[in-house]
Amino acid sequence: KNLSRRIVESLVKMAESESKRTKPDDTDLPEGWTVKQSRSDPTKWYYFAELTKQSSWEKPTKPVRDSAVDQVRAAHILAKHVKSRRPSSWRQETITRTKQEARDIITKHRKDILTGKADFEAIAKTESDCSSAKRGGDLGFFKKGAMQKAFEEVAFALEVGEVSGLVETDSGVHIIKRLA
């Protein structure tokens, strides 16, 4: 009888331990958070934000963006014009279009993207005057102060997945898509 009770207690403890090892449901986590298993105690799980490197034992309630993000990841499509600070690109040695022509080109690309007629990354690869075209316009992560002011302000203000209106900088006319 004593042996039976110890076996049952042991099985109950194993079951409780196993339930603690089960990964918490992460389907309703705020954007930017993931669930990770503790290396020091495999029975515990914690929440981690890759972008900011924040971690928490408590389930987060706000997206990473609301947690003092100091960098973003964005892609862009650039149309240079004759008054751009460097009026040449991988596509064209000497850019001769006017600023208004650059605006018209970017306006058309934006409309095609927003209506689903075209894909942002595909247009960037073939039409952008920036060398980031080979990466679908992806500029990677950047912090405040790394880009021209107008570009930076728009990129940081966008929601993830959102495409901006026209943005004019010394480089030319852009549309920006926030990736992270």
Instruction: Compute the distance between CA of residue 52 and CA of residue 48 in angstroms, rounded to an integer.
Output: 9
Please report where in the chains the tokens 């900088």 appear, as a residue.
169
What CA–CA distance (Å, rounded) separates 75 from 155? 9
| Known active-site residue 71 | no
* Residue 56 C-beta-side C-alpha neighbours within 13 Å: 15
Catalytic residue list contains 130: yes
174 is catalytic: yes
Residue 49, beta-bridge partner list: 33, 54
Q: Which of 81, 109, 130, 132 is catalytic?
A: 130
Q: Is the dihedral of CA 161, 179, 76, 126 positive or negative?
A: negative
Residue tagged active-site, from 54, 67, 71, 148: 148
| Secondary structure E strands in the chain | 33-37, 45-49, 54-56, 71-79, 138-143, 167-169, 172-178
H or E segment and range at residue 38:
none
Please state, in angstroms and rounded to a whole number, the distance separating the CA atoms of residues 50 and 35.
11
Let me know if 88 is a catalytic residue: no
Catalytic residue check, 171: yes
Active-site option among 84, 89, 164, 171: 171
- Residues annotated as catalytic are 76, 130, 148, 171, 174
